Amino acid sequence: HGRRVCKILRSEYQRQCRLYKDFLWIRLQECTQPSSASSQWHQFCVMINSTTEFLWQRTLPFLRRCVPKVNAGPGNDVHTLGNVSLPKQTQQVLSLGPKFATEPRKSPAELLEMVRQVSRRSGAEAERCVSEGVDFLQRHRSSTRTLPVEKTIRYLKDNALNIVPADKEGGFCVLEKTMYLQKASEAIATNFKECKKLSLAKVKTKAMKFIETLKLDGLVHSVAKAEKLSLNMFFSGKTHKDACPFRVIVSEKGSWQQAVARFLQEKLSVLEINDPFRVKNSDEIIEFLKLNNSKRMSTLSVDIKDLYYSIPHDCLLKNVRDCIDSHGATAFQNNAGLSIDNFVELLTMYLTSTYAQWKDMTFIQKQGVCIGSCLAPCLSDIFLATRDKMLHDCLRDTNVLKVFRFVDDFIVFVDCDKESFSASVHKHLTTFAEYLAPLELTHELPEDNFIRFLDIGLHFSSEHVCWAFEPRGNKPLLPFSSAHSKAVKRGIVKSCLSNALSKSCLHLVGRSFDIQVQRLSSAGCQPALLASTAENLLKKPASIPDRIDRKKVAVIPYIHGISHNIKKIGARAGVRVVFNAPEKLSRICKRVNAEDAAVACSKRHQQRFVACKKSVVYSIPLACGKQYIGQTGRCLNERLREHARDVKNKSGSKMIDHIRNCRNCTPALEKTSVLRRCKTQLGREIIEANEIGKSGNS
């Protein structure tokens, strides 16, 4: 209501301003000559604007002091293991959590790159977008407020500390380096085995030859293009368990295994997995509870330990074949472009080639699929679907009312009283262990008639069952001060409030809603935002917007005061601008835990002109005193080799045109210097043009 009143007052004041300006113009026309009236009018307008801006800048600090500050909650817990004591500043930074984003600090060239990203998708409006964007960037002043992330990284490195993200509770876990190495080695030894005297290059060559026999030219090209020969390992701490053991996760990014996995994932996505237990979220569980609310029942939860790492390959491959047969062998083969035997062989090759490196040692999982592989969820569902069907048939004539499974967690609803519950639990756990062998199972029983599954908490009584939206774990929400866009923050608020209303029974909906409001307030959300979002929940949902042309979408990092203005420029040209948050605090783990040793170049250069560097803008001095400025995203030595070849063949780049016109001019390739580094090609091209303009002798 207050915002509506402010909008009405603003509209009225603007109308009064227009009226007074019209009176001023008429008065000038009456009192002065028409030739001088126009110039005086412009002078008065400049005076009005400057005076208004002065008064606003004087009033703004007072208005800001009137706004009540929302004190954010304590944030994420920073878990420390061993004899670790962190200073207050480091503790405050880490308490923000791994998903907290900081505003990226962009150079002028990188800011101009953001404008160019939008203009490239605006078609005929490109020049206008660039002009408006440059005008805005010249007026804008960058923010000087920064979070001491670099100081935090230096402190952890200087004190021989390592850091990993907490597995389920959010936050970070800080421990001494010796303990980090010990826990990492124990986690690796649990699910991996070391491969000694193994040539990863030969493994890739063998894989490419096999793929060539399948006549998959596109996949061969993707595998050949990938630079990394193995997966990368990183760890998370299971802070919810005693002694905080580590979980091993792999990253396929940049590896040739990722290209194969994406190909297999695309082909497996057409299969329909018929599983009587599998659910995607808690909605189906809530629907079951609504229909069976008055029934006498209790429940138990069954969990599969290390599911992905425990799946036997022979059973998995057989289940994949059976799933393909159920879908239709001919239809699958036509879609995949492979026979079933060849597809299974390709899948087998992938499962036996997921080598991961850590501390210059090579490992491979003992069985199953690595956590972090894009194939792991699909393959685990195919593997468990067969066992779930057998379990479903076995439990049909028992007192089990319903079973639900989400990934590796089962919840079993049993029709029994408290006296017979213990006997039923033992019987059903024996059945689960029999049909899910050789998987290792753990279970959980209700405590004080309460158990939590997914994002709902179940409260059992003798008459009925109550449920409420209670997310599992103690993970706080994203702090409101994070450098995410307002749309993301509003989406978090809407999700919490709407889930509290839709995923809670009538008895607990009020308490659940109050808990979510308290969580959001602790994260720093303003009461006005909570109120406006709650109002929107009462309105009818808006119609689904038309499908947006992806060619008209640009993604830029969110920077307060810059990104929204660039978005407005793009909107006038019909371009939808979406924000991302690339600088998250989770990068601290990689920066701190990474070895300081220089990363070796993936290319074996016959002639190394300079030190290997990628994504650079470089300068080659010429004998005549001028210089050649260029850019490359590849290794600099690879580009210099091409320059040397062009000089020898007297054809190629612009440098050859200069050599032809300048007698006795030769490039000093060994004296090439790096001017700037930039990851994106557009950014390098902007820097290259700027350096050429500044040099005057290029």
Task: Tell me the mean pLDDT in the region 6-31.
Answer: 82
State which of 17, 37, 66 marks the end of a domain. 66
Residue 576: name the closest of 103, 112, 121, 116 by CA.
121
Tens of pLDDT, residue by residue over 206-222, are 999 999 999 999 999 99
Task: Tell me the mean pLDDT in the region 505-527.
Answer: 90
Instruction: Give residue 37's domain range.
Output: 2-66
Structure tokens at 514: 């109050």
More confident residue, 600 or 165: 165
User: For residue 83, which amino acid is it?
Assistant: N
Helix, strand, or coil (residue 247): strand
In a domain, 16, yes or no: yes
Strand 298-304 to 673-677 pairing: unpaired
In a domain, 167, yes or no: no
pLDDT at 662: 79
Tens of pLDDT, residue by residue over 549-569, are 666 888 999 988 888 889 999
pLDDT at 582: 87
Percent of the chain topping pLDDT 90: 35
Tens of pLDDT, residue by residue over 328-366, are 999 999 988 889 999 999 999 999 999 999 988 999 999
Q: Give the confidence band of 320 by pLDDT, cuts at 50, 70, 90.
A: very high
Q: Give the confidence band of 264 by pLDDT, cuts at 50, 70, 90.
A: very high
pLDDT at 645: 86
pLDDT above 60 (res 137): yes
pLDDT above 90 (res 321): yes
Task: Tell me the mean pLDDT in the region 505-531.
Answer: 90
Q: Kindly give, in sequence order, each residue whose CB lies less than 8 Å from that of residue 372, ignoring residues fewer than 6 positions away.
A: 231, 249, 250, 251, 252
Answer yes or no: pTM beyond 0.85: no
Q: Give the confidence band of 543 by pLDDT, cuts at 50, 70, 90.
A: low
What's the 3-state SS for 13-59?
HHHHHHHHHHHHHHHHHHHCCHHHHHHHHHHHHHHHHHHHHHHHHHH
Q: Give the confidence band of 1 by pLDDT, cuts at 50, 70, 90.
A: low
153, exposed or middle or buried, with CB in 10 Å at 0-12, 13-18, 19+?
middle
DSSP label of 584: B
pLDDT at 597: 46
pLDDT above 50 (res 537): yes
Structure tokens at 590: 């990689």
In a domain, 506, yes or no: yes
User: Maximum distance among all alpha carbons in the chain?
Assistant: 104
Tens of pLDDT, residue by residue over 423-469, are 888 899 999 999 998 899 999 998 888 999 988 999 888 778 889 99
pLDDT at 546: 57
What's the 3-state SS for 657-686?
HHHHHCCCCCECHHHCEEEEECCCHHHHHH
Q: Give the confidence band of 256 by pLDDT, cuts at 50, 70, 90.
A: very high
pLDDT at 412: 92
Tens of pLDDT, residue by residue over 614-648, are 889 999 888 888 888 888 988 888 888 888 888 88
If one counts every other C-beta atom within 10 angstroms of the C-beta of residue 538, the result is: 6
DSSP label of 78: E
In a domain, 465, yes or no: no
In a domain, 530, yes or no: yes
CA–CA separation, 35 vs 319, rounded Å? 90
CA–CA separation, 452 vs 470, rounded Å? 8
pLDDT above 60 (res 204): yes
State which of 66, 94, 112 marks the end of a domain. 66
In a domain, 453, yes or no: no
Q: How far is CA 539 from CA 373, 533, 536, in A?
A: 41, 10, 5
Helix, strand, or coil (residue 490): helix
pLDDT at 170: 80
pLDDT at 541: 67
Q: Give the confidence band of 548 by pLDDT, cuts at 50, 70, 90.
A: low
Report how many domains make up the chain. Answer: 3
Q: Give the confidence band of 262 by pLDDT, cuts at 50, 70, 90.
A: very high
In a domain, 670, yes or no: yes
Tens of pLDDT, residue by residue over 59-91, are 888 877 776 665 555 567 888 888 888 999 999
pLDDT at 70: 54
State which of 15, 41, 66 marks the end of a domain. 66
pLDDT at 209: 93
**Lowest pLDDT segment from 45-54, 261-270, 570-579:** 45-54
In a domain, 50, yes or no: yes
